[in-house]
A and B are shown apart, each in its own frame.
Chain A
Amino acid sequence: ILNVEQSPQSLHVQEGDSTNFTCSFPSSNFYALHWYRWETAKSPEALFVMTLNGDEKKKGRISATLNTKEGYSYLYIKGSQPEDSATYLCAQGGTALIFGKGTTLSVSS
């Protein structure tokens, strides 16, 4: 994998559903894996930065895991709410980040 890839590209769920997204990245020369949440008309906001293989981080209903050996990270949202509707970006690197194209989540009430 040469680029950072995210799947699915978009996702529509009902309020209360749990969901997860995948981020795949080159496992060689790994530095850090970032997750950002980007709401329409706002600026991207950091959710997590993970550096160690096996890292798991949690913020409220959102959690993320990291596997640097196989080059993937999962983002989980438990009990989705309409306010979770946003584009979720993952990126690999230091401050010169390589971003995926994002997963756009839409949550209906």
Chain B
Amino acid sequence: KAGVTQTPRYLIKTRGQQVTLSCSPISGHRSVSWYQQTPGQGLQFLFEYFSETQRNKGNFPGRFSGRQFSNSRSEMNVSTLELGDSALYLCASSLAPPVHNTGELFFGEGSRLTVL
């Protein structure tokens, strides 16, 4: 059973550009969530999708957006990149819907974004 796949694994952008990251969840998982990790910070919740609908959003500016497709694959986009957006972006999938979900998350290996 394939795990959570994130692409690209590494990328370098310059300030002002935009970036799109992709996440393919484990087959059968319909919940996808995104997290950001920056140096010195714990994993911070970005947003969560289930059945192509955003169910929850963290405290991030509107430059951060995402979507989920009918096959449960998800993308996140960051526009007008800033130096502080340099981070590891992790995607996680889970089997159950967001409400009443106490199941574990299955994480991908992340996309490491460097903004110059």
Contacts and interface: CB of A to CB of B under 8 A. Distances in A.
Interface string A17-57: 00000000000000110101000011111100101000000
A52 to B, nearest CB: 10
A41 B58 CA distance: 25
B7 to A, nearest CB: 14
B61 to A, nearest CB: 18
Contacts of B56: 95-96
B106 A46 contact: yes
Contact of B4 (A41, A43, A46): A43
Interface residues of A, number: 24
Contacts of B108: 43
Interface residues of B, number: 30
Interface stretch (A62-70, A74-82, A97-105): A97-105
Interface string B77-116: 0000000000000101010001111111111111000000
Contact of B101 (A36, A41, A91, A94): A94
A46 B94 CA distance: 11
Contacts of A36: 105, 107
Interface of B: 3-4, 31, 33, 35, 40-45, 48, 56, 58, 90, 92, 94, 98-110
Interface of A: 4, 31-32, 34, 36, 41-46, 49, 51, 89, 91, 94-102
